[in-house]
């Protein structure tokens, strides 16, 4: 039996529209996707700081952190990654409902799972950002030494080595972290968000 059987949805009188008016800004998800070491966390954190300074209420959901708590029961099989992204999609939707901007930094390697999250949200609530960086450069950076471990057979199912990464086909935005500095990537994103009246 599905968990939702015999459960009734309650509409809340304090809607996200009221919260957006109070916050004086739109609420939406900036969904960063890319290989390990591509720069998702770095760019998301810098953008969060920038939005905060501009008075925009926001929160970063980061793969490593979420896997310490909410998702500490999940590993890196295809099934677990799918469940990881499903839960984060739902959590992101709650943040949007609360009137905040949420920045997510998950590898989210599968197109289908990213599309599921996109479809959970309204069209003006989901911005997919492909953090593009060649795997050679990610491996060269190897900020956590994980590529080295994967090459030595100490980690299996590592994205880009022995687990796939499906590149976004039509992301709303691409940042190329091997060509531009973190600051430049953040400026490019701020321009995108401003031009389209997200902020
Ligand atoms: N097998 C394997 N493959 C990829 N990544 C691994 C793996 N094992 C551990 N790690 C560390 O976990 C971080 C990725 O977690 P995510 O929740 O973003 O992954 S996923 O979206 O469910 O694919 C990832 O963080 P980032 O480097 O920030 O991407 C790694 O630090
Ligand atoms: N333009 C850039 N944007 C983001 N990170 C960059 C950039 N150039 C170099 N880096 C470096 O690349 C690494 C990216 O690591 P991280 O942000 O943890 O990636 P991810 O979250 O995708 O695993 C960091 O050491 C960061 O300093």
Mean of the pLDDT values across residues 16-31?
98
Run of H or E residues at 94: helix 78-97
163 is catalytic: no
Of the residues 42, 137, 138, 160, which should be mutated to test ligand 2's pocket, given the most ligand atoms within 8 Å of the CB? 42
Residue 1 has a pLDDT of: 56
What domains lie within the chain, and their CATH numbers?
24-134+166-195 (3.40.50.300)
Q: Name 88's bridge partners.
A: none
Query: Above 70 in pLDDT, residue 48?
Result: yes
Percent share of the chain, pLDDT over 90? 94
- Known binding residues for ATP: 34-41
DSSP classification of residue 170 = S
The dihedral region occupied by 19, where left means phi > 0, alpha psi between -120 and 50, and beta the remainder, is alpha
Run of H or E residues at 30: strand 29-33
Per residue in 93-120, pLDDT tens? 999 999 999 999 999 999 999 999 999 9
Residue 4 has a pLDDT of: 72
Query: Above 90 in pLDDT, residue 3?
Result: no
| Residues ≥6 apart with Cβ < 8 Å to 58 | 48, 51, 52, 100, 101, 102, 103
What is the pLDDT of the chain when averaged over all its residues? Answer: 97
């Amino acid at each position: 039996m599905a968990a939702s059987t015999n459960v009734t949805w309650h509409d809340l009188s304090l809607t996200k529209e009221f919260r957006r008016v109070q916050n004086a800004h739109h609420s939406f998800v900036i969904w960063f996707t890319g290989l390990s070491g591509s720069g998702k966390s770095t760019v998301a954190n810098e953008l969060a700081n920038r939005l905060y300074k501009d008075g925009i209420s926001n929160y970063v959901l980061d793969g490593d952190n979420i896997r310490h708590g909410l998702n500490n029961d999940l590993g890196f099989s295809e099934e677990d990654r799918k469940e990881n992204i499903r839960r984060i999609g739902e959590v992101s939707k709650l943040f949007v409902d609360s009137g905040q901007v949420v920045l997510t930094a998950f590898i989210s390697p599968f197109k289908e799972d990213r599309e599921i999250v996109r479809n959970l949200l309204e069209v003006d609530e989901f911005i997919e950002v492909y953090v593009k960086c060649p795997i050679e450069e990610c491996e060269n950076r190897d900020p956590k030494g994980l590529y080295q471990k994967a090459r030595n057979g100490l980690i299996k199912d590592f994205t880009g080595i022995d687990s796939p990464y499906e590149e976004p086909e039509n992301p709303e935005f691409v940042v190329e972290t091997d060509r531009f500095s973190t600051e430049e990537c953040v400026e490019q994103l701020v321009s995108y968000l401003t031009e389209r009246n997200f902020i």
